[in-house]
Amino acid sequence: MKISCPTEVFCPREGAVSESHHLIRVCDPSMSADEQARCVCEAVASLGGGRQMFRRFFLKDAASLQPGLEEAIRSLPSCPTSIIGQAPLDGTAIAAWVYCVDGFGDGVSHNGYSHFWQAQMLSPGGDSHRQMDSIFRSYVSGLSARALTLANDCIRTWIFVRDIDSNYGGVVVGRRNVFTEQGLTPQTHFIASTGIAGSAADAAALVSMDAYAVGGLDEGQIRFLHAYDHLSPTALYGVTFERGTAVQYGDRQQVFISGTASIDSKGEVLHIGDVARQTVRMLENIDALLSEAGAGFRDVRMGLVYLRNPADYETVRGVIAARYPSLPLLYLHAPVCRPTWLVEMECIALTPESTDAFPVF
C-alpha cells in the first residue's frame, strides 16, 4: 500500500449534507519525492465524498517540490489549494488534507449559507508586519466584495510564518492593527487561528494565510470557546485570536480548535523542556475547549500536530496514541510561536445536533 487515507464520513441524519476530512499520507518513504507527489495527487483525484471544498499539501521542501506539484494539481478538481513547507514527520516528502462536502451540488451555497475558503494568500515584499497587514487588508476587501465582514463572517484563519522565531512579532502587530480597525478587540471577539512556522515556495513571502468564512449565519450561531480554567485569554500576552469557535447549524455543530499548546490560565508555558508532559497538558487543554462545546475527542474528524524538534516525534505520537489511539492526525515539523513550546495541535470536531432555531447546514 503506497497511500494511507482513512476517512470517516459525517452525516448527522439520513438525507443530510455529509462532510468528510481526508488526511492523506505516503506509506513508503523510500519512493522518490516526485513519485510520492504523484501518488498523493492520484489519491486526491480519486477521493469520494462529493465536492472538494479545500485542500492543503504539506511539503518537506516547498522550494524544490512545489513546481512539480503545481503541475500535477492542474489535473485535479478545482478548489482552493494551499501548499505549505511543513515536513511530514514520518520521513515522507508530502502529505495532504482535503475537506469534502456532499450535497451542495456544484456551488458553495446551501440553505442560505455561503462557504468561502481561501488559500495561500501572499504579499511578498517588506517585513512580516507589512506582509501580514497587506494580506489581511486584501482579505477584508475580498470579503466586502461578497457583502461579508471580517468580524461577523470569518470563522477560522491559518497563518504560516517563515522563520517564526524572527518574524512572528511582526505578524502579531500587523494582525492586531487590522483587527482593531475592524472592531475586533478584547472587548468584542477575535477569530480562531493557528499561527505556526511554514513556508511558501517564494522565498520573499514571509507570511501566508488560509481562511474560512461563512455568509448567512445569525449572530447566535457562533460561539467562542475559552476554557478559562485551563487557558488564559490570548490578549493577556499580546496576541489576538480565539481559542476555539463553535458554529451551530440546525443539524450539526462544527468546532474549530485553534493551535493549542502547553499553557495555563495565566498564559505561562508549562513543563518547559519536557515534551511528553507538554503533550499531556496540550491534550487536557484541547479536551477542555471541546467540552465547552459539548464535544470530545471522540468527535474529532481531523487534527494537525506540530513539533519544533523532529526527534520528539515518536515520544509525542506515543503519548497521544496511548490516550486517543484512533485520532485522525498528521504530524508535521513546524515550530510554534514561542521557542519553549515544543508541541502544538489543532483540530476540527463535528457533532450531530437538532434544533429548529437555525437552518440545517
* Ordered DSSP codes for 87-104: EETTS-SEEEEEEEEESS
In whole angstroms, what is the distance from residue 361 CA to residue 359 CA?
7
In whole angstroms, what is the distance from residue 261 CA to residue 110 CA?
35
3-state SS, residue 323 = helix
CB 17 within 8 A of CB 108: no
Confidence band of 25 (pLDDT split at 50, 70, 90): very high
Residue-wise pLDDT tens digits, 65-100: 888 899 889 889 899 999 999 999 999 999 999 999
Residue-wise pLDDT tens digits, 198-246: 999 999 999 999 999 999 999 899 999 999 999 999 999 999 999 999 9
In whole angstroms, what is the distance from residue 290 CA to residue 257 CA?
8
Model confidence, pTM: 0.97
Q: Which CATH number fits domain 108-217: 3.90.600.10, 3.30.70.2190, 3.30.1330.40, 3.40.50.261?
A: 3.30.1330.40
Domain ranges (residues) in the chain: 1-9+17-106, 108-217, 221-361
Confidence band of 48 (pLDDT split at 50, 70, 90): confident
In whole angstroms, what is the distance from residue 118 CA to residue 27 CA?
29
Query: Is the fold of 1-9+17-106 the same as that of 108-217?
Result: yes
What pLDDT shows up at residue 107? 78
Q: Which CATH superfamily is domain 1-9+17-106 in?
A: RutC-like (3.30.1330.40)
Please compute, for residue 5, the number of CA atoms within 13 A of its CA located in the half-sphere on the CB side: 23
Q: State yes or no: pLDDT of 179 exceeds 80.
A: yes
Q: State yes or no: pLDDT of 106 exceeds 90.
A: no
What pLDDT shows up at residue 284? 98
Residue-wise pLDDT tens digits, 274-331: 999 999 999 999 999 999 999 999 999 999 999 999 999 999 999 999 999 999 999 9
What pLDDT shows up at residue 338? 94
What pLDDT shows up at residue 130? 98
Longest dimension (CA), the chain: 53
Q: Which residues contact 322 (CB under 8 A, 6 or more apart)?
A: none
**126: left (phi > 0), else alpha (psi -120 to 50), else beta?**
left
Average pLDDT, whole number, for the chain?
96
| Average pLDDT value for residue range 248-259 | 98
What pLDDT shows up at residue 49? 85
Phi, psi at 204, each rounded to 5°: -80, -15
Q: What is the CATH class of 221-361? A: alpha beta
CB 344 within 8 A of CB 306: yes
What pLDDT shows up at residue 68? 86
Phi, psi at 247, each rounded to 5°: -115, 120
In whole angstroms, what is the distance from residue 79 CA to residue 5 CA?
19
Give the cell for residue 332.
Answer: 508535521
Q: State yes or no: pLDDT of 7 exceeds 90.
A: no
What pLDDT shows up at residue 173? 98
Q: State yes or no: pLDDT of 101 exceeds 80.
A: yes
CA-closest candidate to residue 35, choices 6, 72, 4: 72
The pLDDT > 70 percentage for the chain reads 100
